[in-house]
């Protein structure tokens, strides 16, 4: 059972968990070790075949790699002793043919039960363990009664292995996984702790204990177990990703950031890690760094809707409303998997725009007391209707089109304002990024250059570039 990415934000519920999904959260064969029965081997012959020491004249045992190659070619292999049956089962296991693997290990058990090999008990324990592993893996591909039946078969093999070899650490790990799949949390915890007692520095046991804690709703001990596992396997990418997920769960954003940066040193192209790092920067309000990380994701895959959705959120939090609307629209265009959330975020963009528009209107009103307040509020209501109207809202229109709609909506409103108030309102809309300098000057009815030169009188900066825009300006200046 290979360790797999665990999304902490989507904790598995007792009624909806898929058996295969739960089982594959665990490390299983964490160290990736191969397990062979101990035996004395004669030197390889020219045909890459070695004879068993008990039957040197007739029965041959193929080496493991040759067994795999023969299976891939479609050859029919019939084991002649426990060793050859075990290697055949291990080969089937490596190829993911779990039922064939179970049958081969069963044959190995039958041979070994009749053997007088001095390693007999150890070998029987190993075969039981491997057959239990195959039963468990087979169960993850099944549902209902068949899955439960194979899980019980796996458990029976694990217990037999422990009865033969009481200090079999890996068996305790796999038994813990099995109990966790069955949601028998206390028994799972005891099994993992037994494995840790036998081998305290084995990262796989600490990791699997952490996953069990997390699945059973105990995030604090889960985090401690993940941290300990990472001490023993500091360069294990999936383990570090799980640790970062645990920091996310605990809202320890800076620890999550540091852990994710460790992962990126090992794998700079990991998009999932880049997503999470962008999220950590967002929580830390490091918007420029969040944008930079998400831009890197889009460099790797320019059609990634989730990256656009996250980028829209970064822009929204940093007040870059039109860029936010464009990013959210792009996410919808590319069919973001969580359309409801993206549309909700677009509504937040709309609300922010409306608040900015209302601020600008009443800033202008405060400079002109003789305005008909009821009529002005009437016009603000019309703005609201236009912003949310079907076909003109940011939900379906890019930023440039939206700005033109804004101009058209404001046109009647400016009739109520004198020149000074009209200019102030346009300046405020420009300052909030709702209108470009050209469109704002058109609203006031003066040349663009004149509008820009007068901005200082309204306390508005003529140039208010984002870091990215400033970087582009410098680049273009250098090119010239």
Rounded alpha-carbon distances, angstroms, from residue 283 to 10, 293, 377: 19, 14, 37
Phi, psi for residue 186 in degrees, rounded to 5: -65, -40
Look at 13-17, 18-22, 156-160, 197-201 and tell me which has the smallest mean pLDDT.
13-17
Q: Which residue has the higher pLDDT, 73 or 140?
A: 140
- In 10 A of CB 407, how many CB atoms? 15
Give the span between the Cα atoms of 427 and 221, in whole angstroms: 55
pLDDT value of position 362: 59
Predicted confidence (pLDDT) at residue 396 exceeds the cutoff of 60: no
Query: Which token pair is 303?
Result: 């059609």
Confidence band for 440, pLDDT divided at 50, 70 and 90: confident
Look at 53-67, 81-95, 232-246, 419-433 and tell me which has the smallest mean pLDDT.
53-67
Confidence band for 418, pLDDT divided at 50, 70 and 90: low
- What mean pLDDT comes out for the span 245-273? 93
Provide the pairing of β-strand 49-51 with 60-62: antiparallel
3-state secondary structure of 372: coil
3-state secondary structure of 369: coil
Average predicted confidence (pLDDT) for the chain: 75
The candidate with the shortest Cα–Cα distance to 123, out of 163, 166, 161, is: 161
Summarised one tens digit per residue, pLDDT across range 316-370 is 888 787 888 889 989 999 999 988 888 888 877 766 776 666 666 656 655 555 5
279 contacts: CB under 8 Å, gap ≥ 6: 248, 290, 310
Rounded alpha-carbon distances, angstroms, from residue 288 to 4, 257, 428: 31, 15, 24
CA angle 229, 232, 238 (to 5 degrees): 55
Give the span between the Cα atoms of 104 and 90, in whole angstroms: 8
What share of the chain in percent tops pLDDT 90? Answer: 36
Look at 44-58, 204-218, 416-430, 435-449 and tell me which has the smallest mean pLDDT.
44-58
- What mean pLDDT comes out for the span 400-425? 62
Predicted confidence (pLDDT) at residue 310 exceeds the cutoff of 70: yes
Query: Which token pair is 372?
Result: 């008909």
Predicted confidence (pLDDT) at residue 266 exceeds the cutoff of 90: yes
Contact in structure between 113 and 144 (CB atoms under 8 Å) = no
Confidence band for 473, pLDDT divided at 50, 70 and 90: low
Confidence band for 23, pLDDT divided at 50, 70 and 90: very low
Q: What's the predicted TM-score (pTM) here?
A: 0.65
Please, which residues bridge with residue 60 across strands? 51
pLDDT value of position 410: 59
Give the span between the Cα atoms of 53 and 140, in whole angstroms: 38
Q: What element of type H or E holds 50?
A: strand 49-51
Give the span between the Cα atoms of 454 and 448, in whole angstroms: 10
Alpha helices in 432-465 (DSSP H): 437-444, 448-454
Give the span between the Cα atoms of 29 and 34, in whole angstroms: 9
pLDDT value of position 141: 85
Give the span between the Cα atoms of 352 and 191, in whole angstroms: 54
pLDDT value of position 197: 96
Rounded alpha-carbon distances, angstroms, from residue 246 to 7, 141, 289, 400: 10, 28, 22, 42
What share of the chain in percent tops pLDDT 70? Answer: 67
Confidence band for 223, pLDDT divided at 50, 70 and 90: very high
- What mean pLDDT comes out for the span 267-284? 90
Contact in structure between 112 and 100 (CB atoms under 8 Å) = no
Phi, psi for residue 465 in degrees, rounded to 5: -85, 145
Taken in order of first residue, the domains within the chain and their CATH numbers are 234-335 (1.25.40.10), 338-479 (no CATH)
Summarised one tens digit per residue, pLDDT across range 27-68 is 444 333 333 333 333 333 332 222 333 332 222 345 667 777
Predicted confidence (pLDDT) at residue 140 exceeds the cutoff of 90: no
pLDDT value of position 242: 93
- What mean pLDDT comes out for the span 422-433? 77
Give the span between the Cα atoms of 323 and 341, in whole angstroms: 17
Summarised one tens digit per residue, pLDDT across range 104-121 is 999 989 988 888 777 888
- What mean pLDDT comes out for the span 267-290? 91
Please, which residues bridge with residue 62 across strands? 49
- What mean pLDDT comes out for the span 262-272? 92
pLDDT value of position 408: 60
110 contacts: CB under 8 Å, gap ≥ 6: none
Q: State the angle between helix axes of 339-365 and 305-317 in degrees (0 to 180), rounded to the nearest 10.
A: 30
Q: Give DSSP secondary structure letters for 258-306.
A: HHHHHHHHH-TT-HHHHHHHHHHHHHTT-HHHHHHHHHHHHHH-TT-HH
Burial label for 237, CB within 10 Å (0-12, 13-18, 19+), is middle
């Amino acid at each position: 059972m290979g360790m797999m990415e665990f999304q902490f934000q989507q904790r598995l519920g007792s009624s909806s968990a898929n058996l295969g999904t739960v089982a594959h959260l665990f490390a299983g064969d964490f160290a990736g070790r191969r397990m062979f029965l101990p035996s004395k081997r004669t030197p390889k012959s020219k045909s890459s075949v070695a004879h068993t020491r008990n039957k040197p004249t007739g029965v041959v045992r193929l080496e493991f790699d040759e067994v795999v190659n023969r299976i891939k070619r479609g050859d029919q292999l019939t084991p002649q002793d426990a060793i050859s049956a075990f290697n055949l089962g291990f080969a089937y296991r490596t190829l993911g043919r779990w039922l064939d693997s179970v049958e081969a290990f069963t044959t190995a058990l039958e041979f070994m039960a009749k053997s007088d090999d001095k390693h007999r008990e150890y070998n029987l324990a190993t075969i039981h363990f491997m057959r239990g592993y195959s039963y468990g893996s087979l169960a993850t591909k099944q549902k209902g009664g068949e899955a439960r039946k194979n899980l019980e078969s796996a458990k029976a093999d694990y217990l037999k292995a422990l009865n033969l070899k009481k200090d079999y650490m890996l068996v305790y790990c796999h038994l813990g996984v099995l109990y966790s799949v069955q949601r028998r949390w206390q028994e799972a915890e005891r099994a993992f702790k037994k494995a840790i007692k036998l081998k305290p520095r084995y990262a796989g046991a600490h990791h699997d204990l952490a996953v069990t804690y997390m699945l059973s709703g105990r995030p604090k001990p889960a985090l401690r177990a993940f941290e300990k596992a990472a001490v023993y396997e500091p360069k294990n990418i999936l383990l570090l990703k799980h640790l970062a997920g645990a920091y996310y769960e605990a809202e320890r954003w800076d620890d999550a950031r540091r852990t994710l940066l460790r992962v990126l040193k090992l794998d700079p192209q990991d998009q999932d890690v880049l997503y999470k790092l962008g999220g950590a920067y967002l929580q830390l309000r490091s918007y420029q760094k969040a944008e930079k990380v998400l831009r890197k994701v889009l460099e790797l895959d320019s059609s990634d809707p989730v990256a656009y959705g996250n980028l829209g959120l970064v822009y929204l939090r940093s007040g870059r409303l039109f860029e936010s609307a464009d990013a959210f629209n792009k996410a919808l265009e590319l069919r973001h998997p969580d359309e409801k959330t993206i549309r909700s975020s677009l509504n937040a963009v709309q609300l922010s725009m409306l608040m900015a528009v209302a601020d600008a209107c009443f800033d202008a009103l405060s400079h002109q007391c003789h305005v008909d307040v009821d009529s002005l509020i009437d016009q603000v209501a019309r703005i609201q209707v236009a912003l949310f109207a079907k076909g003109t809202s940011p939900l379906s229109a890019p930023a440039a089109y939206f700005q033109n709609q804004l101009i058209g909506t404001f046109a009647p409103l400016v009739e109520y304002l004198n020149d000074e108030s009209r200019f102030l309102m346009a300046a405020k809309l420009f300052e909030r990024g709702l209108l470009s300098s050209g469109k704002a000057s058109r609203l006031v009815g003066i040349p663009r250059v004149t509008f820009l030169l007068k901005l200082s009188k309204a306390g508005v900066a003529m140039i208010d570039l984002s870091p990215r825009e400033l970087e582009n300006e410098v680049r273009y200046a250098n090119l010239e």
